[in-house]
Amino acid sequence: MWQILKITNKLTLDQKKFFVEVIGTFIVVVCATGSVVFDAKVSGILGIPFMAFAPFVGVAVSVYLFGKISMAHFNRAVTIGYLITKHLLRKLLAVYIGC
C-alpha cells in the first residue's frame, strides 16, 4: 500500500488525471458489458432493468471515487461539452480522449 502512495506522489496532476480516467472508463465499460453478459448467462431472468442499472452503478462509483481528481469525464461527449463551455483546457483534450 505504501508503495502505491509513493508512486502516486511522484505523478504530475495530468498523469493522475490520465490514470484515473483510464480506471474509471474501465469500470464503466465492465459494468455495462458485464451486465449484459451476466444477464445472458442467467437466461435473461434479470432483464432490462438490471442491464440499465448496472452501468449507472459503474458511473456513480467512478464519479465518487475519481470526480475530485479529473472531473469524471468517462463519456467523451461530456469531455467535448466541457471543452465547448471552457471548463477544460484544450491541452488536456488529448489526455481525456486518449483514455
d(CA 37, CA 46): 11
pLDDT over 80 at 80, yes or no: yes
pLDDT tens track for 17-48: 888 888 888 988 898 888 888 888 888 888 88
pLDDT per position as a tens digit, 42-72: 888 888 888 889 888 988 998 898 888 888 8
- pTM score over 0.85: no
Q: What angle do CA 3, 29, 44 make, to 5 degrees?
A: 130
